[in-house]
Structure 1
Amino acid sequence: MKFKFTVSGDSLVWEDGKLSGDKLLVDIVRNSSKINEGVWIGESYLGGTDHDHLKSPLSIYLILERMFGEVRHEGDKIPLPKSSEENNVVY
């Protein structure tokens, strides 16, 4: 999977858990992901995760949204987390 996120004119690309693009933006997201390890990143209606944020494009999107407000997304549809309570059906 591959996604491009743009905020405030700067872009980063998430591809299978790896970030590239604007160096400062990539560093900010990496640091925020590390700082938030163990912290729930998500929304009640979307789901989320509390670990391995760099592996989750939804976490990356939500981190960027919280930091910058508006986020433009290009690429594949962002998959929502699977629910173990509903037999791993994707929302």
Structure 2
Amino acid sequence: PERVAADKGYSSAKIRSYLRRRGIKAVIPERIDQINGRLRRGESLCRLDRAAYRRRNVVERCFNKLKHHKALATRYDKRARHYQAMVTIACLLLWLP
């Protein structure tokens, strides 16, 4: 992927360096303790692509709606193709009026 969008829970030096080594841009806001540490050390703050971070919300809301189907949230199906079929049906139900 070109970039990874995540919430503040994934903001760590280890994750950022892992992405940087692979040439992937991190769209992860920094936690306040990381911001304060950077300011104390005189480093520049990380820039956050706010437009890309806002698009992350669309994916989060889609997962939230899919989780309303109990079969998807608890994964009762033992076979991957059955689970994939349930995901497809749930997506169809979201898109059909």
Shorter-chain TM range is under 0.3
Q: Higher relative contact order by CA 8 Å / sep ≥ 6: 1 or 2?
A: 1
Larger Rg: 2
The alignment's TM-score, normalised by the length of structure 1, stands at 0.26
Q: Which has the higher helix share?
A: 2
